[in-house]
Amino acid sequence: MDLFGTLTCGVDEAGRGPWAGPVTAAAVILDPANPIEGLTDSKKLSEAKREALAPLIRERAMAWCVAHASVEEIDRLNIREATFLAMRRAVEGLQHAPDLALIDGNALPGGLACEARAIVKGDLKEPAISAASILAKTVRDALMLELDAAYPGYGLARHKGYGTAIHAEALTRLGPAPCHRMSFAPVKAASLSA
């Protein structure tokens, strides 16, 4: 909220690039009366620091929501549109409807019920986007640990679904699991050779 009472949420995603798992988005409205020290782009923080900040964000923010687009939605829509879908769900899920959404990146999801602005490197410039970045990353990482338990052998807990050499080798050896994005070229190639 600013001096004029405008409710502004920051929005960011985690998991656009991986070969497995959902894409996750978060929306956060920070409370100026309850500041949180140390907010920055989640990729600049250690895992321990992200895990320490995430509960503070949930506790001190005026509103927050984390949402996903599933592997099936990614494969049906494409990763860009699925990311926008997750972002819309996160904004719509906020306990307070924002007047303005600040979105990390250079493109905006359509269909938001409020004004929106894209901010390149917004997760470094806007604390609300930084907070959203941290929530999206920590929630998605926790989901990948669950998927690792459900689909052992791929190393999902370690690489979080990203395209590492270990992941590529496991895909070749085991073929894709239901958590893999079949529309992604390396997964598609592994499914054809399996």
Q: Is 12 a known ligand-binding residue?
A: yes
| Confidence label for 1 from pLDDT (cuts 50, 70 and 90) | low
Q: Which tens digits make up the pLDDT trace of 100-113?
A: 999 999 999 999 99
Report pLDDT digits (tens) over 23-74.
Answer: 999 999 999 999 999 999 999 999 999 999 999 999 999 999 999 999 999 9
In Å, the largest CA–CA distance within the chain is: 59
Q: CA angle, 143 as apex, 165 and 166 as ends, to 5°?
A: 10
In CATH terms, the superfamily for domain 8-152 is: Ribonuclease H-like superfamily/Ribonuclease H (3.30.420.10)
Q: Is 115 annotated among the ligand-binding residues?
A: no
C-alpha dist (Å) from residue 70 to 16, 73, 104, 145, 177? 12, 5, 20, 16, 14
Query: Per-domain residue ranges for the chain?
Result: 8-152
Gap between the Cα atoms of 159 and 64, Å rounded: 26
pLDDT digits (tens, 9 = 90+) for 137-185: 999 999 999 999 999 999 999 999 999 999 999 999 999 999 999 999 9
Q: Is 99 annotated as a binding residue?
A: no
Q: For 192, left (φ over 0), alpha (ψ -120 to 50), or beta?
A: alpha
- Asked whether the whole model's pTM tops 0.75, one would answer yes
